[in-house]
Structure 1
């Protein structure tokens, strides 16, 4: 069955199906064999294995199937639109071909290791994680994965520890980005660079405030003017009010004039 025929049967496209078949072939679940049909014709047979690493017999059409050997476990072979199950080898099967095919498949599969599925990442919580998760609201291109959030949380916490507000951090991370038409391929790297390069200095320590206790000012006392007994505020108990002081000054001037005359 061709890739085009599979794309007509399944919702995936030809590129996706072709990539999946190549991955199955690399993992040992799919084997392609070129089989001569006689008369100068050659067909490609595709074998799907339930157990990767088990060899697939190379069926020979010329000898009428007399020299054909099959796999030790059930194997599905697809040629065109037909699908047949190759049974286990009978007593008359040639074991040499099966052993060679099995050893070839075992050697091919031994060099391949399956990648273990990544472990799920626990969701981060706290003000720093919330700030990073909300960046995509300011710019959709700043969408971060959970692993990226966990990696950037310590840097944001450093900013918060230096008395930077959430709004200040958000403005620093979202200001001056490329135009919306340009994609940001690695938003986590961009944010990490800004958090590291633009880190503000810590605030200086507040000076030790020693409260200076100042004695309250005493109010100026009220005293009586010696000339007219009018109440005035002064610290001098023998002071005169303004009018008496002017009157006394005029008297001195008159006395001086009289003495001169």
Structure 2
């Protein structure tokens, strides 16, 4: 017959101890690390991605600055001078943080000239670098605008043609006559007056080399 171990704690005592320390720490210590005491926001909040908040290469100042820029309204000034007046960090540190955000794609800054001739810096904040905004995606997916029947189609740019060394009026008129007569040999070669005028110098350059109009038509 087995005998009881007088040094073993009673089961009821063990259960009571577990109730006093549900975290599994009998000495009363709390688990290491942060403990969140969060309240769900329903207004006046900004969604920040963990790829930014926990970025492995950005400095803490750059991460905080990016969070601030993403939280402000469209059109809010975020230049170095304005940010230096808003935060205790000086212009040098803020400029360095902005360059970090540019390097990693969270900011795009371009210099543009206004209608008055003034040079301004346009800043675009990206909450997910590498992903374009929904407006640009919608523009790409939108079907191409059809040309209305009464709206002339855009004219293609005509290719460059050789120029005669001496553009004599008689030589150019002969070249135009050669081009206008091509349709008699092939109906597909019907040229408009604009096309004939554009191509005439090239034909004139051929005629200038003692090439006959008949030979020019066949070439």
TM range (shorter): under 0.3
Q: TM-score, normalised by structure 1?
A: 0.22
Larger strand percent: 1
Larger radius of gyration: 1
